[in-house]
Structure 1
């Protein structure tokens, strides 16, 4: 394979990018760079797979599914709590809820003690939609996980949880 950018696939591009970056910025940590690029690529591939094979065919976006998933398992909740649990901004949840409510999947009611706050709840139609979607979603999760042994899955989960709870993640959480 050529080392010209147009001839590279994603994984060979990672090697190429690391080499080019280190040539210009020698203090670059190639292992951290590879980790970041690989996690980003994997996340993008997972979300694309789930959204294109499971959620879009059911009329849901990835973000819409995440809100329904939170409400299915933890709701009803104030929208700010839904945003936190779904890993979204409050503004994104607010905009999304208009569509979900219009489709009869969620309801929103004003919180009596705070006129600015809104409580969200899943409707029976939303419950049916999210449980149907999640069954197919979990089949895709199983397909992805099948590349690893049970022991490898346990180790990877532990490592990802360690990254998720580390100092950089805590600092990023303070920004949201």
Structure 2
């Protein structure tokens, strides 16, 4: 792949660039490898299993959350999938147009919307998930079962740290101010 560097090359470049800079190297490596692993696994699963079913990673995660939770509220699906409510709206509309998902009003609160799989969506998940799981086994095949459990528990603790203490940390870093608006990275034309 042109311009692609292996994880080993990237680690060597970072070490050369940072030299004697006083940083938390082990923690930097852990977070960098969380990102690298997530990106590599996502790309592999999209290209090996999901694409032939016409699913993106995000669409699959939305279907997974609804499949596991039953009839969750849209806000919970967005939160669990790690996407904005606006992104969920677009993904849900696409899945709905394909006959895989349907929306329904909440029975006691008209402001809320529930999502549920259609029979076609159920069939898709029952067909795709076992193949998805086979690829989960493939991408972790260099780890023993015990190493997989240890990795899963370590990552779970990372998630809990952010869930339980991340907001307090953000507030202290920003002196209580809300985060600045997200930027696309594009230059303004003005």
Using structure 1 for the length normalisation, give the TM-score. Answer: 0.85
Listed as ranges, the gaps of 5+ residues in structure 2 are 171-190
Report the equivalent of 1:111.
106
After TM superposition, give the deviation of residue 9 of structure 1 in Å. Answer: 2.8
Q: Find out whether 1:170 has 2:164 as its counterpart.
A: yes
Report the equivalent of 2:60.
65
After TM superposition, what 4+ stretches of structure 1 lie above 6 angstroms from structure 2? Answer: none
Report the equivalent of 1:15.
12
Report the equivalent of 2:124.
129
* SS class of match (1:147): coil
Using structure 2 for the length normalisation, give the TM-score. Answer: 0.79
Report the equivalent of 1:74.
69
- For residues 61-106 of structure 1, what are the alpha-carbon distances to aligned partners after superposition, in whole Å with 9 as ceiling and x for unaligned? 1111111111111121111111122222222111110100000001
Cα distance in 1 between the residues matched to 2:101 and 2:4: 47
Aligned residues: 167
Report the equivalent of 1:3.
none
Q: Find out whether 1:101 has 2:83 as its counterpart.
A: no
Report the equivalent of 1:30.
25
Structure with higher helix content: 1
* SS class of match (2:112): strand
Over the aligned positions, Cα root-mean-square deviation in angstroms equals 2.1
Cα distance in 1 between the residues matched to 2:93 and 2:134: 29
Report the equivalent of 1:144.
139
| 1:104–1:123 CA contact under 8 A, matched in 2 | yes
